[in-house]
Structure 1
């Protein structure tokens, strides 16, 4: 299907029908109506009809036929960060920032925090996400997660906008307690003053653990670690490293990653996920988000 020319909504949001593959780290996914929103009024209009929110496109597998809902992307001021300490909320070594938009790329944010000597989020180094999506799933590594550095979250739904704190949410390993369909539009960060070189050393240490991960197109880890056991180890022991369906492959470097060798389809990825579940004895919970959801 040929993409239609961009139009503008009544509040000025840019609306365009586009292939979602270009917005995902896996590089698969069919078309949808994409809304590029840059302020609260545009976001309020965008959620008037069934919608999905698309951040950095990691941790996501989109169906080859796309999705029928409009897909929202945060841009403009909703993709900007005010890292100035708020004097009313900051004290001593604790710094609470101004608002950071949900559309801010996480890797660039982590680099800026390091240069400012602000600690608490360096454990998320290398995660290819936007802030809103990273908060929604409490993205992280063994060295830290998003909720280590949150003070206030602004959440948008068709019912309106509200502000909450981490204490208001039942967050935990790879989940925030924020219901599906709720959009993290902005956050304030709670950070700790440190020397830039100390923050960099922590980032380098955390990044070393990622050196064995594949460099090809991938959504990230496919499955959560069950009961503290490495999902990658279980998949490796099942002899599945390097298994391939079409253009998708279980990465030889790390068995909990599926990569796009070029020309992979969503169907190829789903076939590999099914193969893993069939061959691994322990029950595995998917870490990827599937569009649309599977029954």
Structure 2
């Protein structure tokens, strides 16, 4: 880690290996900006940038990236779950602002204890709120847009607030452009009980027990439709358990690539290319690649 000159707004700036911030555990050194407010964020966005949340669903090149990498901290990583007295009704709770840097697993646990429903289907996703909203992260039991009321989005041109109805969102897609940052959201939740929410969380979590426990970005490819999931297609191609270096297509579920220890992004890229070559139907990546295309 190399500490760089402080920014004029007080943001902490360091060169760090991005591997420490990704669930896969790969990624080279880059310039990381830790921003705690909108002024620091505006300064960080004055040059080409990327936004890094919980680091799931992400494969960063071994060389890192040339752009600034922004992480939300401080107030932008805090949650106000107090019901808004104007927007809330007996049937619907609308919270205060939840920062984009808030870890999603901890948020889901807090909502369960408060007996607030709508997001329990996202249990187990190791993301931050902003990134989870940006890609509409979810499982077969629910997704982020099930529980959104208002989104605050920051771009180099300024800040705006939108609702889900303003966005063309869908499966693993929020409709928010790549260079737009989800800084805060208000949640739209249904009053329930801690016991009922916990039961739904346990049901969704139990269905994920077959997924690997090693370092992984999550599912590699979106399900293509047509009755077979991506994992089944990869398994039928005989690729389950295939290794390149220290990266492996997981024996438990073929739509996951895992880091056995010491894997490189190049190892993962090679497995992704192999899958695309061997599976008989086109597959769309669910992983985000930094840079955006597979080498070669």
* TM-score normalised according to structure 1 size: 0.98
Moved segments of 4+, more than 3 Å: none
SS at match of 1:7: coil
Per the TM alignment, residue 4 of structure 1 is displaced from its structure 2 partner at its CA by: 1.8
Aligned-residue offset at 1:284: 0.3
Give the aligned partner of residue 275 of structure 1.
Answer: 274
CA deviation after TM superposition for structure 1 residue 229, in Å: 2.5
Trace 1:167-182 onto structure 2 (pairs within 5 A).
Answer: 167-182=165-180
Distance of 1:110 and 1:251 partners within structure 2 = 27
Cα displacement (A) at 1:286? 0.3
Query: Once the 2 structures are TM-superposed, how far is the Cα of residue 7 of structure 1 from its aligned partner?
Result: 3.5
Does the alignment pair 1:250 with 2:249?
Answer: yes
For this pair of structures, how many residues does the alignment match? 293
Q: Superposition pairs for residues 193-272 of structure 1, below 5 Å?
A: 193-227=191-225, 229-272=228-271
Indicate the RMSD between aligned Cα atoms, in angstroms: 0.8
Name 1:165's counterpart in structure 2. 163
The gaps in structure 1 that reach 5 residues or longer are none
Q: Give the structure 1 partner of residue 23 of structure 2.
A: 25
TM-score by length of 2: 0.98
Q: Show CA shifts across 1:137-165 (max 9, x none).
A: 00000000000000000000110000000
1:188 is aligned to 186
Measure the CA separation in 2 of the matches of 1:135 and 1:251: 27
Q: Distance in 2 between matches of 1:279 and 1:138?
A: 28
Q: Distance in 2 between matches of 1:108 and 1:225?
A: 28
C-alpha distance in structure 1 between counterparts of 2:117 and 2:5, whole Å: 42
Provide the secondary structure at the position in 1 that maps to 2:215: coil
1:93-132 correspondence runs (5 A): 93-132=91-130
Secondary structure (helix, strand or coil) at the match of 2:33 reads strand
In structure 2, the residue matched to 1:149 is 147
Q: Per-residue displacement from partner, 1:58-91 (whole Å, max 9, x unpaired)?
A: 0000000000000000000000000000000001
| 1:218-256 per-position Cα deviation (integer Å, ceiling 9, x unaligned) | 000000000153100000111111000001000000000
Question: Equivalents in 1 of 2:3, 2:278: separation in Å?
Answer: 46
Matched, 1:68 2:66: yes
Q: Establish whether residue 8 from structure 1 lines up as the match of residue 17 from structure 2.
A: no
Secondary structure at 2:10 match in 1: coil
Aligned equivalents of 1:93 and 1:80: distance in 2?
25
The match for 2:47 is 49
1:6 Cα deviation after fit: 4.4
